[in-house]
Amino acid sequence: MEKDIIEQCINELAELYGILPGYWDIFGTWHAITLEAKKAILAAMKLKVGTTEDMEREIHEKRAKTWKSLLEPVYVISEHEQPLSLPLFIPAEEGAEGRISVSCTMEDEQGISHNTLVSGDSLHVSEERIIDGQRYIKVILTDEDRREPGYYTLTVTVRNHIPGAGKLQKNSSVIIAPDTCYLPEDNGERGLWGLAVNLYALRSVRNWGVGDFGDLKGVVESVAGLSGSFIGVNPLHAIPNTNPYGLSPYSPISRLFRNLIYLDIEAIADVADSAAARRAMRSKSLKTALHDLRDAPYLDYERVAAIKTKILGYAFDHFLVEHYGKETARGRDFSKYLENEGEALESFSLYCALRDYFVQSEQVYSWQAWPEAYRDPSGEAVKRYREGHKKEVMFHCYIQWLIDRQLSEVQDLCCSSGMRVGLYHDLAIGAIGGGSDIWLYQDIAGGADVGAPPDDFNPNGQNWGFPALIPEMQKESGYELFIQTLRKNMRHGGALRIDHALGLFRLFWVPSEMSPKQGGYVLQPSIDFLRIIALESQRNKTIVIAEDLGTIDEQFRNMLQQFRMLSYRLFYFERNYPDVSYKLPEHYAPMALCAVTTHDLPTLYGYWDGIDIEVKSRLGIYPDDRAEQQDRMARNRDRGLILAALKTENLLPGGIPDDPALVPRMTPQLCSAIYGYLARTPCRMILVSLDDVIGTMDQQNLPGTVDQHPNWVQKTPLTVEEVIGDERFLHLKEIFRKHPEL
């Protein structure tokens, strides 16, 4: 009997908190989540599930929470659902409705408020309930004004609900959102095309061993000259810059701020004006170091970051005295930046200063390993550090200001060069547990990581190392972190790719001490998320691309389309399933961005030559010889199918036979033909990989590996200066002419 009660409690709590009972894998097999996993996920949500009594209490509190809260913490409402009707839950004695008065204030983002008063006589009780011996009534508040999309603060005050109980008062966020994301008007032209670059990987004769914003400007000017409309870049998020676990742009310490390695140091006025910086840059040791970094076959993030930080320190010292202290125009611009960024910037910079201190003093990189007193951002130890190290904290604010200004210059150049979109940014799924986002938002971080269940590519499943954010707590915070993350990543760009868009609907939680095979899916507040994305997209005039690859449900994909988010379609996977032949161009989805590959998949040259299969074989990733042989057979089949598809469209280059056995290597002509194939699709955007254009063989990241493969450290085989004069690059203009010859 006790066992049955425990099982019932776990299942009931799991349902209340959005834990799905199981999932279908890519082979159509149902996997039910175990009771043990459900209980572990509930514990990861910070619920008390140790005993039956604990769970029964949690169930009771969850069911009663809305009634006891007066107002929900946040309402996300379509602009077409007006006038607003919001439920209000009031404790009231029987027959007390006539004595109750409710006053409401709705304040907009400019601080302008509108007051209304609802008297007891006009209150309509739509429902009532007795909870813990107390009667609660539900009434509906109606706002007669039609309000523009935006963020509002609702303050409700209730009086005379219970004799002698005083007044009740609560604030709630009201977010009024459009129903669709921003898309530029379709003027009937073929899809906009752009170039995808891994900024860190760019070589040049002038950079400091890693691609920077100066290199990016050169690429922008060249692509604009070829009538390209956008430049896709890897996530620019702040990362640890430590080898080997702190290099992935998809594993940031913060998604709100950016990586200093992308700064073009020589373009910073304070560097040129600082005598100390100039002396350091003239030194033989620095010149030798930069020469070595440029010539090295792989990136050295740690060394680049250390050198740039040192020079930036000299520049900052000069800036403090000559600009910030004297309140010059440059100093005032920095002050304005500090004011606009507010607490988020200062807190991030405080984290960075503390991290620097503990790395140097104790060789610890995660805030969970700091002395306990420093793990609480609002604790006394942290406050004392902030007061005693203002310069160190401001230094990191200064770095983010420089990044913001240089990135702004790149986007301005895109616009002035005639690009219709400009920079196309990439938003990672989450932030690592030891980073600043989780340090600052510990209340909403759960005790489980985000990952993926077992599939054909990863039979053991995946743990991505990002703490899962608790949906209930995100709502309690008014979705503050989610909103700030979108807002900051839409700045200085015209498009934003949201990685793993399935995560807007459900996330796969992997509880601590469990394997991904034991994880389960947790529902997300998807409609709220989609509406907030639409609001920020319209405000920032940012196209949203939802990465919807994999086993995403069709109903979810349809919802993304309804919100006018572009689907993300890859040539490798656009097949006539269950037939594996490639879709003809006219059968591609119009509301989509199409590309050949991504950072996690083989380049076109590597794909054709089977380089990825060779690497996985060498590293022992295949479980057996049969699995490897199946991949080789499938790849040979796919080469033939690609040639057949090109032939159908009369795009097969002259001299290239349609027999894959006679085409052992990818050629520039064949690569161009494949992109010409995409150019014939009705997709709104077409993304060309620089790696494909210049014949790069190895993919940037091999999922499931860390230091076994040179992930995130490979440089382009050509310098930027060589790329922009290369015939293969210049030929892009011909491929994407408005009216290509058929």
Q: Is the torsion defined by CA of 200, 201, 202, 206 positive or negative?
A: positive
Mean pLDDT of 380-388: 97
- Residues 258 and 237: their CA atoms lie apart, in Å, by 4
**pLDDT of 740 higher than 60:** no
Write down the pLDDT at residue 551. Answer: 76
Q: Is the torsion defined by CA of 17, 18, 23, 26 positive or negative?
A: negative
Kindly give the interhelix angle for 329-362 and 301-319, rounded to the nearest 10 degrees: 130
Number of H helices and number of E strands within the chain?
24, 24
Mean pLDDT of 166-176: 93
**pLDDT of 609 higher than 80:** yes
**pLDDT of 509 higher than 80:** yes
Q: Name all domains of the chain by residue range, CATH numbers in brackets.
A: 2-66 (no CATH), 80-177 (2.60.40)
The model's pLDDT over 353-368, given as tens digits with 9 standing for 90+, comes to 999 999 999 888 899 9
How does residue 564 score in pLDDT terms, banded at 50, 70 and 90? very high
How does residue 188 score in pLDDT terms, banded at 50, 70 and 90? low
Write down the pLDDT at residue 741. Answer: 40
Which segment of 111-125, 681-695, 712-726 scores lowest on mean pLDDT?
Answer: 111-125
- Residues 577 and 434: their CA atoms lie apart, in Å, by 42
SS3 letters across 275-330: HHHHHHHHCHHHHHHHHHHHHCCECCHHHHHHHHHHHHHHHHHHHHHHHHCCCCHH
**Residue entry with tokens 């690569």:** 671
Taking CA atoms, 410 is separated from 212, 237, 332, 413, 630, in Å, by 11, 17, 22, 5, 46
Pull the structure tokens for residue 230: 């956008």
**pLDDT of 55 higher than 60:** yes
Write down the pLDDT at residue 739. Answer: 42
**pLDDT of 738 higher than 60:** no
**pLDDT of 604 higher than 50:** yes
Pull the structure tokens for residue 516: 């991904």
Pull the structure tokens for residue 38: 């459900």
Write down the pLDDT at residue 141. Answer: 85
Write down the pLDDT at residue 225. Answer: 96
Tell me if residue 668 falls in helix, strand or coil: helix
Overall pTM surpassing 0.85 (yes/no): yes
How does residue 518 score in pLDDT terms, banded at 50, 70 and 90? very high
Mean pLDDT of 83-90: 90
Write down the pLDDT at residue 598. Answer: 95
Pull the structure tokens for residue 411: 């986007």
- Residues 343 and 129: their CA atoms lie apart, in Å, by 41
Side chain identity at residue 703, one-letter code: P
Helix ranges (H only) for 50-134 are 52-68
β-partners of residue 232 are: 196, 424
β-partners of residue 127 are: 138
**Residue entry with tokens 């839409």:** 490
Tell me if residue 474 falls in helix, strand or coil: helix
Q: Do you find a cis peptide bond into 83, omega within 30 degrees of 0?
A: yes
In the chain, the percentage of residues whose pLDDT exceeds 90 is 84
The DSSP annotation for 111-155 comes to S-EEEEEE-GGG--EEEEEEETTEEEEEEEEEE-S---SEEEEEE
Mean pLDDT of 427-433: 96
End-to-end CA gap in the chain: 74
How does residue 742 score in pLDDT terms, banded at 50, 70 and 90? very low
- Greatest Cα pair distance in the chain: 92
The model's pLDDT over 450-491, given as tens digits with 9 standing for 90+, comes to 999 987 667 778 899 899 999 999 999 999 999 999 999 999
Give the residue, 729 or 122, on which the prediction is more confident: 729
The model's pLDDT over 2-24, given as tens digits with 9 standing for 90+, comes to 788 899 999 999 999 999 999 98
**Residue entry with tokens 């060498």:** 618
Give the residue, 550 or 305, on which the prediction is more confident: 305
Write down the pLDDT at residue 82. Answer: 86
The model's pLDDT over 220-255, given as tens digits with 9 standing for 90+, comes to 999 999 999 999 999 999 999 999 889 999 999 999
CA-wise closest residue to 250 among 425, 400, 426, 424? 426
How does residue 116 score in pLDDT terms, banded at 50, 70 and 90? low
